[in-house]
Structure 1
Amino acid sequence: MPELPDELFKQIESYVQLQKLLDFQLPLNFTRDWAASPDFLLVAVKGILKKKSSNSSLTIVEAGSGVSTVVLGYLLKKFFPQGKVFSLEHSYDFYEQTKKEIEFHRLGSFAEVFYAPLISYWINGREWLYYDLKEVKKRLQEEKRKVDVLFVDGPPAPVRKNIRYPILPLLKEFLPEEFLIILDDAKREDEREVAYMWKKELQVFSSWEPETEKGTLILEKIPFRNKELPFFSVCIPTYNRAHYLKQALESVLSQTFDNFEIIVYDDGSTDSTAEVVKKFNDSRIRYFKGEKNRGRPYARNQCVNLAKGDWIVWLDDDDVMKPDLLSSYAVAISRFPSVSVFYPLKLWILYENSKEMKLSQIIDYFKNRKACVRILMSSPPLPNPGVCIKKSVYDKYGLYDEEFYRAQDYEFWFRILPYEDIKGIDYEGLVYRIHDGNVSTFVELMDYSFESLAKRRFLQRFRLKDIYYFSNEPEELFASDLLAHQDYFNAAYYLWRFEKFSSLEKLLNVLGISDSCERLASKFERYLRLNRLEAAERVSEKLGVYYKKLLQVFASESADRKVFLASLKRLLLINPFFDLSRFSLSKEELEELEKVKDRILRVANKYEEGKREFAEIFWKRKLNESSGCHNS
């Protein structure tokens, strides 16, 4: 027997479940073509039962009529004996047919259909065509009913663009604080536009889009009483990104929740950033410009100081918010009053050069600080783009550390995540753009001494055995986490400090600075002095990481200056005593490299009190044994 196509199987499965749940006493009309599909009817019934199962009374206004009216009648009869569905039909013939179906199924006590021809309304300064609601409004008033569910499957889309929108503003007076909107055909572009318009009016809502044949959207209005202006401060630090900034601002101004301000702090741009902002002419945008470029952490701190909202939402100047992000945060804030940090569990990553889009998913660490702290030692457990932070957190723990030109958010997480409740929201929060100008995109250019210092400084407050509570080898795990950001020197120190000599010897072998490497290392050095880089590369393959990094420095010296400096920084993570005098470095470059050395060699916690002894007695000796030519 041939297998049923997936879609057909799904419709049969849905119909069987409906029949089992609602116990249809008589046959229904067919559910194809213009009629509501079984999968849509099933998810709609399930959505209503999940949200309203405790009520004996339920009022539904249905836009459109037909088999769905009968199904809703059965639902009310079984689960909401005081309930009523009022269906609107603009076609007189369909109106007559639906009346007969209601009578045929003996559902007159639970379902009533109204002939409601399409008439004109004036809404928000323009003409709209929609059902004549005079009779249904009269009935709602007579029976003193509030509408718990708007069930929207009409009028038909071909009649006029966005024709399903008016149901919300026209029935607004009958809607309670909490209600559902259930929309069929939600895959159509026209219905998606209507949904966006509803969301703008609802402001705070939860949404659910179960996968059905024609697409379904279920919106739940959430009460939200906090009306401070502004509630959110969307903070955008920017520097010479005028060509991206316009899209970032547009994405915020298109949010379905509009109780916000936008803080644009221009960190001394020399491009057309100011002109881009001024063209918006929107009072919610507050623009500030610094006299000179002082770096991202400084710009972030200015944003925090300028923000008036209770909650700060971060948006990089080259990223784009999805339209329901602020509304999703407002819902989460209402539901989780103890939480100080919210973040999206999904991000779209746009690789600009290839135009590829990839969905990245993040773990929810709600009520799970132990796991969060463990992951934090390896890499940031939650994204900084799009994150929402209670402003009082900055009063409690301080602003961003301005020493951290990059990874300032990583250092900040170390100060707050072990102590504050955080919560992920199930929403594709934003589009994170990867392009040539990102500060933290190209791994080979990153200065990982910042991450290393943040991790090591954390041990001022947390013991290794508390972080790695699940293991008998916390020191080796910490060394491994340092290696994740290529800090070989400090990883070796911790292995030496805790007498993990077997693991230390393995690390030295990986680096190529063990005793057995001495002859090969001398050969490598000779090739470097002769500028025979290809020959040195062949030797470096037999040595280890240190020699590969050393070769990278010499190979990039006459190439891109940015790559050359980044290569030197990576080399210093292995050997902070490397002799820089052999290169022609400017005063600014030398100062920058000295800061890298300082971050690596700094005594960052009580475990590092023996670092000077390690450096002078063990590490320099090992490097000299391997080859003295490249050491100071």
Structure 2
Amino acid sequence: MKFSIVTITYNRAKLIADTIQSVIAQDFTDFEHIIIDDGSTDETETVVSSFHESRIRYFRYPHGNKRSFLRNEGIRKSQGENICILDSDDIWMSNKLSRMKAIFETHPDVDFIFHNIEFQPQRTIDGPLFPYSQSFKGSIFKNLLADKILPFPVFTITRKAVDKIGLFDERLIDGQHDLYLRAASQLIAFFETEKLTVMRKHGQNISDNINFAHYDDFIVSLEKLRRMKLISAWRFREQLSRVYGKNAYIYMNDKELPAAKKFYGKSFLAAPASIRGLKSAFMCLSLYLKGAN
């Protein structure tokens, strides 16, 4: 059983060495580490080359590609039976691959594995990252839609599953949530409660740079699921209301009240009979009365 680890990177010379070292230190050694560089202008390439490790395969591209395309390039170049995604600022525990191998061997019907995360430095978040005290196997589709499962880049997927559900959608900037949704709707998943990845928080985290295009990506994914009849019309509208509500919340935090009012209004119109829609209507009215026009 061979694993292909796909890491995309850009200007992570100060962080990627620890990432690579955590892969080399795995107690299961049948793997290849494919690093796709989006045209780094720092010493990233020098750092990668310094390892002199035959299992590392480095590819450099001109800068400016979508993360969905870069990850797909890594998958297309990979040869393993199972594909792992590892960001260039994260670190694996030494038993990550051996744990994935054990799960696949114990549960041959599983094609998609994700697991818990440790943050460094530790941070306070709203409740547990994943609200599960035990590992489990089964469908994660409803939990993903309910935000009980967050689409972090800590998953492992079999190659045959990629052949079934497809690669990252390259129309999307990131495509990660979209891939999770397709996997959740078509595959049997396994959640491992053990923390097998350390996610280092720093000023350059992509996830910290809120980009409304990510919400546009999610809407495209929802529309795709609706066309495939994997979600009902009501579920689609409710999820659309949730996405618009998140946009409004961000604008509220940024004190951009007219924009917040606009998105609360869109949230209400998407699902006017839902609790979320009614809350958005109240917020929209409150902002209107405050003169946010």
Aligned-pair CA distance for 1:481: 2.9
Aligned position for 1:341: 112
Shift of the 285–450 alpha-carbon distance from structure 1 to 2, 3 Å rule, reads: same
Aligned position for 2:171: 403
1:255/1:323 contact within 8 Å kept? yes
Q: Which has the higher contact order (CA 8 A, sep 6+)?
A: 2
Equivalent AA in structure 1 for residue 120 of structure 2: L
- Take 2:94 and 2:271, find their aligned partners in 1: how far apart are those partners? 49
Aligned position for 2:120: 350
Shift of the 441–502 alpha-carbon distance from structure 1 to 2, 3 Å rule, reads: closer
| Superposed counterparts of 1:112-261, under 5 Å | 226=1, 231-261=2-32
SS in 2 for 1:339: coil
Shift of the 382–360 alpha-carbon distance from structure 1 to 2, 3 Å rule, reads: closer
Shift of the 430–357 alpha-carbon distance from structure 1 to 2, 3 Å rule, reads: farther
For residues 416-460 of structure 1, what are the alpha-carbon distances to aligned partners after superposition, in whole Å with 9 as ceiling and x for unaligned?
2111001122422110112111111245x5442222332243222
Aligned length: 273
- Take 1:504 and 1:425, find their aligned partners in 2: how far apart are those partners? 34
Aligned position for 1:450: 217
Aligned position for 1:24: none
- Take 1:244 and 1:509, find their aligned partners in 2: how far apart are those partners? 45
| Superposed counterparts of 1:268-417, under 5 Å | 268-344=39-115, 346-351=116-121, 360-361=129-130, 363=132, 364=135, 366-367=137-138, 369=139, 372-379=140-147, 381-406=149-174, 408-417=175-184
2:110/2:190 contact within 8 Å kept? yes
1:264/1:286 contact within 8 Å kept? yes
1:233/1:312 contact within 8 Å kept? yes
What root-mean-square deviation, in Å, do the aligned CA atoms of Structure 1 and Structure 2 show?
3.0
1:483/1:491 contact within 8 Å kept? yes
Shift of the 356–482 alpha-carbon distance from structure 1 to 2, 3 Å rule, reads: closer
SS in 2 for 1:312: strand
1:256/1:323 contact within 8 Å kept? yes
Larger Rg: 1
- Take 1:237 and 1:501, find their aligned partners in 2: how far apart are those partners? 40
- Take 1:390 and 1:333, find their aligned partners in 2: how far apart are those partners? 9
| Correspondence for 2:243 among 471, 482, 485 | 482
Structure 2's unaligned 5+ residue stretches are 248-262
Aligned position for 2:260: none
1:269/1:293 contact within 8 Å kept? no
Equivalent AA in structure 2 for residue 485 of structure 1: K
For residues 5-63 of structure 1, what are the alpha-carbon distances to aligned partners after superposition, in whole Å with 9 as ceiling and x for unaligned?
xxxxxxxxxxxxxxxxxxxxxxxxxxxxxxxxxxxxxxxxxxxxxxxxxxxxxxxxxxx
Shift of the 463–339 alpha-carbon distance from structure 1 to 2, 3 Å rule, reads: closer
Equivalent AA in structure 2 for residue 335 of structure 1: T
Shift of the 342–366 alpha-carbon distance from structure 1 to 2, 3 Å rule, reads: same
- Take 1:379 and 1:361, find their aligned partners in 2: how far apart are those partners? 9
Shift of the 502–336 alpha-carbon distance from structure 1 to 2, 3 Å rule, reads: closer
| Correspondence for 1:494 among 270, 275, 290 | 270
Aligned position for 2:192: 425
SS in 1 for 2:181: helix
1:314/1:384 contact within 8 Å kept? no
- TM-score, normalised relative to structure 1: 0.40
SS in 2 for 1:511: helix
Sequence identity (%): 24
1:311/1:390 contact within 8 Å kept? yes
Shift of the 348–506 alpha-carbon distance from structure 1 to 2, 3 Å rule, reads: closer
- Take 1:502 and 1:293, find their aligned partners in 2: how far apart are those partners? 41
- Take 2:237 and 2:68, find their aligned partners in 1: how far apart are those partners? 32
Equivalent AA in structure 2 for residue 481 of structure 1: R
For residues 89-137 of structure 1, what are the alpha-carbon distances to aligned partners after superposition, in whole Å with 9 as ceiling and x for unaligned?
xxxxxxxxxxxxxxxxxxxxxxxxxxxxxxxxxxxxxxxxxxxxxxxxx
For residues 545-576 of structure 1, what are the alpha-carbon distances to aligned partners after superposition, in whole Å with 9 as ceiling and x for unaligned?
xx3xxxxxxxxxxxxxxxxxxxxxxxxxxxxx
- Take 1:501 and 1:262, find their aligned partners in 2: how far apart are those partners? 46
- Take 2:173 and 2:151, find their aligned partners in 1: how far apart are those partners? 17
For residues 197-255 of structure 1, what are the alpha-carbon distances to aligned partners after superposition, in whole Å with 9 as ceiling and x for unaligned?
xxxxxxxxxxxxxxxxxxxxxxxxxxxxx5xxxx0011111111111110000000001
Shift of the 396–278 alpha-carbon distance from structure 1 to 2, 3 Å rule, reads: same
Aligned-pair CA distance for 1:373: 1.9
SS in 2 for 1:435: coil
Aligned position for 1:135: none
2:16/2:44 contact within 8 Å kept? yes
2:165/2:186 contact within 8 Å kept? no
Shift of the 380–401 alpha-carbon distance from structure 1 to 2, 3 Å rule, reads: farther
- TM-score, normalised relative to structure 2: 0.81
For residues 292-328 of structure 1, what are the alpha-carbon distances to aligned partners after superposition, in whole Å with 9 as ceiling and x for unaligned?
3312111101100011100011110000000001001
1:482/1:488 contact within 8 Å kept? no
SS in 1 for 2:111: strand
Equivalent AA in structure 2 for residue 454 of structure 1: S
1:267/1:295 contact within 8 Å kept? no
Shift of the 428–411 alpha-carbon distance from structure 1 to 2, 3 Å rule, reads: same
1:452/1:485 contact within 8 Å kept? no
